[in-house]
Structure 1
Amino acid sequence: MTSTPTHRTDQQASLLAEWVEVRRQINALEARAAALLGDRLALMDADVAETPLHRNAIERSMIAEYTAAGRMAKGGVEHAFANARTLRDSFPAVRESFEAGEIAPAHVREILTAASPVQQAISDGEAHAQLLELFEAAALEFAEVEAPARTRAHVREFAAALAPRTITERHADALAEQCVSVRAVTDELSLLTALMPTHRAEAIMDRLTAMARQQRQQDREPTLPMDEQFEAEADRSVEVITAGGTFTVDPFAWNGPVEDDPTDTPEAVDAYLEMMDRAIAQGPVPVLIPEDPRGIDRIRTELLTDLLLTANPGDILGDGAESITAHIQVTVAASTLAGADENPAQLDGVGALHPDTARALAGKATSWTRLFLDTDGMVTATDTYQPTAGMKRFLQARDQHCRFPGCRQPVHRTQLDHTHDWALGGQTSIDNLAHLCLTHHALKHPSIPDRHRWTVRQLPDWTLEWTSPNGSLHRDRPPRRVMFVPSDPAPASFDWNAPIHGDPSF
């Protein structure tokens, strides 16, 4: 018996719920595995306490044992033990959430990695020990409702807010670690690795993506312009009957003596005009271009190779290559921009940025946008379809990326969408606009049948509440633009989910 759409929807919801539960159980098992490593570390510490002179040998033996039993690389086992120790000793709340299956191993890795500058600031005596508890609480609150990629950017930004001096020093020290290396992967492929400042790497990737998309667009032209069609027709061998004989050349491209020019004969002119009439009557001729089998990654790689080896991508892209620029979005306080302090800026969606780098970008980039927020002067709505320039700047700063849960598509590769359709009475206001990438915008398009279409509404705090076809709810909160760090540890009743709508410092 064929299942009905309603029955299939119920099955989809059931399968989704079961999948989520299995993923929770997997996370809990991963937490148990980490706890077992922590217990093994306790035994190693006991052995080291008895024979401290053999610490290195004891640790190497333990690593080798788990490498062999788990069929894992030595570096991976060492990293797992290091995370297990940190999780056991310094992050009880994260460990508890991990054991409950609320967060995945990727979340844990991002939190522990981002905590390093905070721990260093505490170790150097520049911060109170309770600051780590504040970091853990804020990081966990975010990680339990967001994807690991978004968690990475958030916890790095929060760590920079808690330990700005440490972050700045680490950025300065990191410049000395820049390098380029190559490693053979197979006989045909090698891995070229460049370790460089994050803002440069992001800009390089963005520019390569823009160039690759332009190339794919140029390669898919469906027709020949009429002028080119005439040239193509004239380039063929065209028999022209003249009084002097038969010619197999274009008579209008004659390069011989003037007195022998075949275009002087009426027959040649008539033949050429007849050829042009045929081309006009035929109309545009579709050019069947086979689909480019290369993916965007391959095109980016080939463009990178061309740029590095020739420093001239013109052979591929033409003269328009210079017009393609990279886009990165940076947020920096006016006081930092003026040099009044050395607090880190933020490379939106990525992490902290050295203040000197932010100042350099502000001074050189022609596309730098200054944001001046005023509680009374900012335009929040308009009676036209298109938002004002000020609203666009505000929404770009608010959203930073596509507002579908977990999507990391940067804001300059998305489009502003009316959450409640403009054609159905939706306003052009910051409370009814959000950035969506093309993929996720299509999910809510009216052309999709109801039983496959997603719906979305915007809550008063700018959270987008998505409803899937089977009725599941998924929320996406806008990332905070400014993080307020209290001088004293946060009280137990501190509400990390307090609405941010109307906050003049957002």
Structure 2
Amino acid sequence: MNAMMTASDEQMKTLDALVEMARDTERSIDAMQAARDGVLALASRWAMTMVEQQGDADEADLMLRSVAAELAVVLRVSDRTVQRRMADAELKVERFPAVWQAQGAGRISAGHTRVIVDAGMHIDAPEARAAYSARMLEFAEDESPNRLRPIAERLAQQYQSRSMDERHQEAREKRAVWVKDHPDGMAELGVFGPAALVHGAFDRLTEMGKALTTARSAGPDTDPDAASMKDPRTLAHKRTDLALDLLLTGSPAGHDTPDGLLAAIVPVVSVTVPVFTLIGVAGVESPEAEVDGRCPIDAGTARMLAGATTGWDRVLTHPVSGGLLAVDRYRPGAHLKRHLRVRDQRCRFPGCGVPARRDDLDHTLDAAFGGPTADDNLAALCRRHHVLKHQTPWHVTQLGDGLLEWTSPTGHAYIDEPPPQNTVTFTAADADTEVGDHLADVWATARDESLAPF
């Protein structure tokens, strides 16, 4: 029986009222948090103004400490916490005023503000920050913070004064591994390193964890009764056990089968890189390469990965809108799956960010009722939202061009758009200028030379 199908009209009205109350309450909380940031930023500015009037720069830190201590006593928190909040608030209010104001008006949440500020804090020019903020607010009003993060990281790159390669080389100097102790005999091991390598390591642990039960039950000496017992560990437990096993022994010795099925699993990292970025064309503003729609990486790493792979998926996009047109490959494969996973990039339920390569490809109109196996009747759904679609009154309709309209049990409709592609776009006017001729020559070079490995 589908969940909620037996709910009465009165019960559904109650749920609808609770949803409205939750939305309004959340907006009020976000607005009040923005107001608090404004007060803390004013307190920080007051302290600095007093220092400037006295002309003693050495007193700045003491003045800030004193103001923070005064606020801390009233707020009943540590003065160090208040001073940190004052610095964060001043960063938001002074450097990203439009974002702060949007939160105060209830247009975006505190989570959206944090994502936008974190990605754009290294944009130096005020005009560039303002332009970045304006573009991000267009996305933030429709996307959840977890979906907004890769968009913010991508757009922030376009306004940076230094290249991604320069900043990556500097950031690599901060790579580290650390241990943090926790209660009850537990500890945390952290790794900070190049994104492509970290995501690759995580993917290998994930695939090994998924294959673990099958691999162990397939061994020639496995007890049939033991093999039939379900492994009680979650995927997170298996990742942890395998990671420690690999770090301590160099191989999954405590989990592997005699024929080494787990050890044979290799990591998979999906990278999208515009061809102009790949070949380093001068004079063309091209986005950075991206790992799995999550975060930008430097062009050097992207070129290394592209040169080492056995085949590429070619993603064809519209030159002006940037929309996905087609995906092809010069090697046999599941063409439709590749197309959908490139188009969707993550689960298509509003607000969900689970990568598409871990999702199910679901028929919007079930195949049993005549739904075609085609891109306009398929979408990537994580297992959680796949079950939600089939076992509750939530339902979805395809509107064309990858747009999905979800209707909730209370009758509210929510539109989910496929995320923008990581690609180069041009204005229509470019076709009638010398820029258009230059781009045509560049594209011919890219087609004839850079795609030769296919």
Which TM-score band (shorter chain)?
0.7 to 0.9
**Residue in 2 that maps onto 1:504:** none
Map of 2:291 onto structure 1: 347
Task: Say whether residues 1:93 and 2:98 are aligned partners.
Answer: yes
- 2:371 is equivalent to residue 426 of structure 1: yes
Alignment partner of 1:294 is 2:233: yes
Q: Does 1:321 align with 2:262?
A: yes
Q: Which amino acid aligns with 2:272?
A: T
Which residue of the partner structure matches residue 254 of structure 1? none
Q: Which of 233, 241, 247 lines up with 1:308 in the alignment?
A: 247
Cα distance in 1 between the residues matched to 2:161 and 2:203: 27
CA contact (8 A) 1:157 1:351 kept: yes
TM-score, normalised to structure 2, is 0.80
Query: Which residue of the partner structure matches residue 343 of structure 2?
Result: 398
Which shows bigger deviation, 421-430 or 288-297?
Answer: 288-297
Deviation at 1:159, TM superposition (A): 1.0
Residue 355 (structure 1) shift: 0.2
The answer to whether the 8 A contact 2:153-2:296 is kept is yes
Q: Report the counterpart of residue 365 of structure 1 in structure 2.
A: 309
Unaligned runs of 5+ in 2: 1-5, 328-332, 428-454
* More off after superposition, 468-477 vs 396-405: 468-477
Distance in 1 between residues matched to 2:192 and 2:357, nearest whole Å: 25
1:431–1:462 CA contact under 8 A, matched in 2: yes
**Counterpart mapping for 1:31-70 below 5 A:** 31-51=34-54, 52-53=56-57, 54-67=59-72, 69-70=74-75
- In structure 1, the residue matched to 2:154 is 157
Cα displacement (A) at 1:294: 3.1
Equivalent residues in 2 for 1:70-219, closer than 5 Å: 70=75, 72=77, 76-117=81-122, 119-120=123-124, 122=125, 129-163=126-160, 165-186=162-183, 188-217=185-214
Distance across 1 between alignment mates of 2:80 and 2:172: 24
1:334 correspondence with 2:275? yes
CA distance in 1, matches of 2:157, 2:379: 27
Number of residue-to-residue matches in the alignment: 407
- Computing the radius of gyration from Cα coordinates, the structure with the larger value is 1
Bigger drift between 181-190 and 402-411 goes to: 181-190
Unaligned runs of 5+ in 1: 123-128, 233-284, 381-387, 488-506
C-alpha deviation, 1:175, in angstroms = 0.5
* Distance of 1:105 and 1:76 partners within structure 2: 18
Cα separation, 2, equivalents of 1:428 and 1:96: 46
Aligned pair 1:465/2:389, yes or no? Answer: no
Distance between the aligned counterparts of 2:419 and 2:117, measured in 1?
Answer: 20
The one-letter code sitting in structure 1 at the alignment partner of 2:203 is D
> What's the Cα RMSD here?
3.1
The worse-fitting range, judged by mean Cα deviation, of 475-484 and 104-113 is 475-484
Q: CA deviation at 1:291?
A: 5.1
Give deviations 1:163-215, integer Å, cap 9, x for gaps: 37443322121011111111222251122121111222222222212222222
2:379 partner amino acid:
A
Measured at CA, do residues 19 and 295 of structure 1 come closer, stay the same or move farther in structure 2, by a change above 3 Å? same
SS at match of 1:322: coil
Is the Cα contact below 8 Å between 1:343 and 1:355 reproduced in 2? no
CA offset digits 1:69-108 (Å, max 9, x no partner): 5455666544422231122223232122211222221211
Question: Closer, same or farther in 2 for the Cα pair 1:204/1:55, shift >3 Å?
Answer: same
Distance 2:273 2:287 in 1: 9
Q: Residue type of the partner of 2:45? A: A
Write the deviation string for residues 358-397 of structure 1: whole angstroms up to 9, x where unpaired: 011112234643335589x9669xxxxxxx8444333222
TM-score, normalised to structure 1's length? Answer: 0.72
Against the structure 1 CA distance between its residues 467 and 48, is the aligned structure 2 distance closer, same or farther, given a 3 Å change threshold?
Answer: same
Q: 1:30-52 deviations in whole A, cap 9, x for unaligned?
A: 11111111221221122111233
Say if 1:287 and 1:113 are closer, same or farther in 2 by CA, change over 3 A.
closer
**What's 1:440 paired with?**
385
**Residue 21 (structure 1) shift:** 1.3
Q: Which residue of 1 aligns with 2:431?
A: none
- Measure the CA separation in 2 of the matches of 1:189 and 1:110: 30
